[in-house]
Amino acid sequence: MKAGDILVCYGTSSSSNSIPNHVGHAAIASSSSHILEMPNIWSHATHVGKASWFAKHIKGKDYVAVYRVKKHPHYAEDAAGYAYHDMYINNNPKYLLSPNLYDRTTSYCSKYVYCAWYYGATKDSVKHYNTGHYVLPHSFIGNWKGSFVASYVYKVTEY
């Protein structure tokens, strides 16, 4: 795992039991050993070790797909740094499922990752939307563009 890696969960959801698990969950690696996520609707962003994060999100048939922007490792580090310093330490947003992608006071799991890249790396890394838009965990990888398209790196089925 590297800083800036994008983790997408299949089988688990950040919403607990209130929304079916097929909604999925997403997070961003802040380093090779830690992960930032918006865990659920009752919390702010959290920063956890990868062992505990994977243990929470891989049970039974659940798995995590890991994506990486391979052509721009320095931007990946910038996105991870921004997520940690600006979206966790200095301005930890509250959880709100809202179509306003560019509001930095609220976030949800996949929006958190999207904004880390949009604000922390470069606005050219992801598609821009002039109207309200949701970036959902199982489809938001399609929001990266050009040479920033995230590549599937591996599937984690146990940890």
pLDDT, mean of residues 4-31: 76
Report the range of poorest mean pLDDT among 19-23, 71-75, 141-145, 148-152: 19-23
Pairing between β-strand 6-10 and β-strand 25-29 as defined by DSSP bridges = antiparallel
**Pairwise CA distance, residues 120 & 77, whole Å:** 9
Taking the C-alpha atoms of residue 13 and residue 26, their distance in angstroms, rounded to an integer, is 9
Q: Is the pLDDT of residue 15 over 70?
A: no
Q: How far apart are CA 24 and CA 79, in angstroms?
A: 22
More confident residue, 135 or 15: 135
Q: What is the pLDDT of residue 65?
A: 96
User: Model confidence over 61-112: pLDDT tens digits?
Assistant: 899 999 999 999 999 999 999 999 999 999 999 999 999 999 999 999 999 9
Pick from 34, 66, 93, 27: nearest CA to 151: 66
Contacts of 85 (CB under 8 A, 6+ apart): none
pLDDT band, very low/low/confident/very high, at 16 (cuts 50, 70, 90): very low
Write down the domain spans for the chain.
6-156
Q: Hey, what CATH topology would domain 6-156 get?
A: endopeptidase fold (from Nostoc punctiforme) (3.90.1720)
User: Distance (Å, rounded) from C-alpha 108 to C-alpha 112?
Assistant: 6
Q: What is the pLDDT of residue 13?
A: 56
Q: What pLDDT score was predicted for residue 26?
A: 96
